Amino acid sequence: MHFDRLWRGGRLATLDESREGLGLVEDGAVGCVGGRIAFVGAVLPEGWTAGEVIELEGRLVTPGLIDCHTHLVFAGDRADEFEMRLRGETYETIAAAGGGIVSTVARTRAASEAELVATALERLDRLLAEGVTAIEVKSGYGLDLDSELKMLRAARALEDARSVSVATSLLAAHTLPPEHRDSREAYVSKVVEKIIPAAVGLADAVDAFCESNAFTPDEVRRVFDAAKAHGLPVRLHADQRTAGGGAQLAAEYGALSADHLERTNAAGARALAAAGTVAVLLPGAFYALRDEEKPPVALLRAAGVRMAVATDCNPGSSPLTSLLTAVNMAVILFGLTVDEALAGVTREAARAIGRWDQMGSLEVGKACNLAIWDATRPVELAYWLGRNSLHSRVFQGEPS
Ligand code: DI6
Ligand code: FE
């Protein structure tokens, strides 16, 4: 067997489900052909050759990390609102007074596509520096046809500018745009009839914010019915600030993921398990909003729901550009095990973006995306706070 490139002598956390836990392989090798994994294991096939051999010197290797829930494309910031919250205002009172998401909408509408790409790249580079090789990016700060498409194009452009895979989600149902304050129904109709059809080809999924100050379950149903009619999978921001049956709603539509879930109950957890919907936990938002309700991790675990972990990087509720910090927060604040948190930024994150067939584990046939760590034990990735232990990163077989 001839490999384009071979890495050997490492401790592999394969995340292969046919193996236990993180699927550790001691003194293992990964062989790559044409950007894909052609061999993973401890005993190389006889007579192998390779264009290049890279010695791992005992380092830990994981699949490239996947940040499966971000709002990476936006203009400006909301540091002023952060200060207001520090003085006692809440996310909801700020939004009700005309701040919040719509203030980012105004700035994002005014920004050019090139400006959106440039500011997103600055944040993306921080994620990549920690071994991320795939991200999801949502629209949702445009809230009109042109601006939503501009955001999606900017998200797609990231893939051309860096060695990373980008999955896009149309989040036109993020909040009501100011010009529709008195015409909710008309805005939902616009999303259903104009924005979703126009986003086909640019969006890989459709997301919505089901929340008392965003969209009702019935409005989300209209959006999801349109998504399904256009062949797009759905995801949902569910039960974050208020308990609204969001998990059940996501499950009803066989959503790829239900995200946040701070206020999900046992019935919601069972519904997610039955639907095979991934629970995406976002400790950055929980932390930055000083939320007092945690997602029901014990219930999710007991029900057998797969759990992913992501940054939710956005200018309002989660100004977090470090997926390793999200891993640390997931174990410290939410009580995930180290194995669960690491599976949450690899295997389960791949499922949440609908790409488990292509990435998220070290298995033959998948993209050769590797994160090589100056660490030997997986726990080290969760243990340090603010230390980036990445040694190097490989995207589709190319060291980068
Ligand atoms: N939930 C969140 O945490 C973000 N969006 C959402 O639906 C917040 C986005 C923002 O505040 O800008
Ligand atoms: Fe979000």
| Nearest in space to 360 (alpha carbons), one of 339, 345, 346 | 346
What is the reported pLDDT for 183? Answer: 96
Q: Which residue has the tokens 């149903």?
A: 221
Cα separation of 389 and 381, whole Å?
7
How many other C-beta atoms can be found within 10 angstroms of the C-beta atom of residue 343? 27
Task: Please tell me if the CB atom of residue 315 comes closer than 6 angstroms to any atom of ligand 1.
Answer: yes
Tell me the CA–centroid distance for residue 213 and ligand 2, in Å.
14
Nearest CA residue ID for atom 1, ligand 1: 237
The DSSP output letter for 44 is P
Q: 65-352, what's its fold?
A: TIM Barrel (3.20.20)
Shortest-distance atom of ligand 1 to CA 175: 7
30: Cβ contacts below 8 Å, ≥ 6 apart: 6, 7, 8, 10, 12, 37, 39, 40, 61, 362, 368, 370
Task: Please tell me if the CB atom of residue 237 comes closer than 6 angstroms to any atom of ligand 1.
Answer: yes
Cα separation of 341 and 382, whole Å?
8
Q: Does domain 2-63+361-399 have CATH number 2.30.40.10?
A: yes
What is the reported pLDDT for 93? Answer: 93
Protein residues within 5 Å, CB atom, of ion ligand 2 = 312
Asked whether the beta carbons of 311 and 279 are under 8 A apart, the reply is no
Shortest-distance atom of ligand 1 to CA 104: 12
Cα radius of gyration rounded to whole Å, the chain: 21
Among 71, 92, 318, residue to substitute to test ligand 1 (most atoms within 8 Å of Cβ): 71
Cα separation of 258 and 275, whole Å?
11
Each domain of the chain, given as residue ranges in start order, spans 2-63+361-399, 65-352
Q: Tell me the mean pLDDT per 10 residues along the chain, length 400.
A: 98 97 98 98 97 98 99 98 95 91 98 98 98 99 98 98 98 97 97 98 98 96 98 98 95 98 97 98 97 98 98 98 98 98 98 98 98 98 98 97
Among 169, 290, 317, residue to substitute to test ligand 1 (most atoms within 8 Å of Cβ): 317
Nearest CA residue ID for atom 9, ligand 1: 316
Q: Which residue has the tokens 């390793």?
A: 324
Residue 100 phi, psi dihedral angles, 5° rounding = 75, -145
